[in-house]
């Protein structure tokens, strides 16, 4: 855990790069990139924080975004290509404002530490698995039996800890998402931008899912669920889309946008 947290100590750019993010620079001829940078600058002013570097997950069709880092000085904003392709400017603004809430409220710092702790606990279980596997090869002996018991104990501790750790991660994250949604409305003075962004995710064939294997480690840092889980209601790091939308738009009829035909 200490090793993992230390490896993340360089800030959000480490997370963005591990997810396949590419830094978006000023002076680009790409209209999408320029709009994104302008929106990030606007929301930095609205939230009273420094303008963070912006990373684009170019190979991700899912609609999602994230903030990562320990402080406002090493924070980054990340967004998927799917979000740039399908969000209007108001929707993009609402999502970026949501991520700025995570920056100023310290949520991303909690997320980074949770990532490190869960990494260490999971590693215990993996060590136990390989000890048991090694002890089962060859002739059985007293030492082999002891090693098997040690491996079993580490598996119980590791995977048991991971189970409860993921429950805690999900519970903490779900509560902070409502606050970030409310803060996005405060920063933008517009509840429809972020509400419509959520409606587009609900009506999109790829949803908010990411392809990168690193999405599991940082699932609690994203704007919407980045992974599929077997026990979605138990381990989901985000409240259901319908509940988030209802909180933002009480008049919502329950119909999602047909996103695949509404590319702006």
Positions marked active-site: 99
Q: Which residues contact 183 (CB under 8 A, 6 or more apart)?
A: 97, 98, 100, 101, 104, 105
Judge residue 3's burial from the number of C-beta atoms within 10 Å of its C-beta, 0-12 exposed, 13-18 middle, 19 or more buried. Answer: exposed
Nearest Cα to Cα of residue 16 among 50, 60, 47, 49 = 60
Residue 245 to residue 251: CA distance in whole angstroms = 10
What dihedral do alpha carbons 235, 239, 240, 244 form, nearest 10°? -170
State the DSSP code for 228.
Answer: -
CB 252 within 8 A of CB 195: yes
């Amino acid at each position: 855990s200490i090793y993992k947290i230390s490896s993340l100590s360089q800030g959000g750019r480490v997370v963005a790069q591990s997810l396949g993010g590419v830094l978006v620079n000023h002076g680009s001829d790409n209209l999408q990139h320029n709009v994104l940078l302008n929106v990030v600058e606007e929301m930095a002013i609205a939230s009273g924080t420094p303008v963070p570097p912006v990373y684009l997950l170019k190979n991700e069709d899912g609609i999602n975004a994230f903030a990562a880092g320990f402080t406002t000085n090493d924070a980054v904003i990340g967004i998927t290509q799917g979000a740039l392709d399908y969000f209007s400017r108001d929707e993009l603004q609402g999502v970026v404002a949501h991520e700025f809430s995570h920056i100023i409220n310290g949520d991303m710092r909690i997320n980074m530490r949770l990532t490190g702790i869960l990494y260490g606990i999971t590693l215990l279980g993996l060590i136990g698995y390989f000890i048991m596997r090694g002890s089962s090869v060859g002739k059985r002996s007293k030492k082999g039996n002891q090693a098997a018991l040690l491996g079993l104990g580490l598996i119980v501790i590791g995977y048991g800890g991971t189970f409860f750790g993921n429950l805690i991660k999900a519970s903490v994250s779900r509560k902070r998402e409502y606050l970030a949604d409310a803060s996005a409305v405060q920063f933008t003075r517009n509840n429809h931008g972020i509400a419509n962004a959520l409606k587009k995710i609900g009506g999109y064939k790829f949803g908010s899912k990411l392809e990168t294997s690193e999405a599991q480690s940082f699932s609690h840092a994203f704007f919407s669920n980045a992974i599929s889980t077997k026990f979605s209601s138990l381990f989901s790091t985000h409240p259901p889309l319908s509940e988030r939308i209802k909180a933002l738009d009480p008049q919502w009829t329950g119909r999602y946008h047909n996103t695949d035909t509404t590319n702006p």
